[in-house]
Structure 1
Amino acid sequence: MAAPTAVVPTLDAAAMTLSHEEPVVRLSRLQSAIGVLCIDGAADVGWQSADGQQGVSRAGTNLRGGPTHANRPLIERTGMQQVLVNLRHVNDLRRLAVTAADTAVTITTAGGSTITTVGTAYIHVVGGVLELRHEPGASIADFGFGV
Structure 2
Amino acid sequence: MERIFTYEALPETARLFWEKFSAATVFAFDGQMGAGKTTFIKALCAAKQVADVTSSPTFSIINEYHYASPAGHDQCIYHLDLYRLRNEQEALDAGVEDCLYSGGICFVEWPGIIANLLPPDTVLVQLEAMPDQKRLLRAGPAFRK
Return the TM-score normalized by structure 2. Answer: 0.30
Which one has the bigger helix percentage? 2
| Structure of larger gyration radius | 2
Return the TM-score normalized by structure 1. Answer: 0.30
Which one has the bigger strand percentage? 1
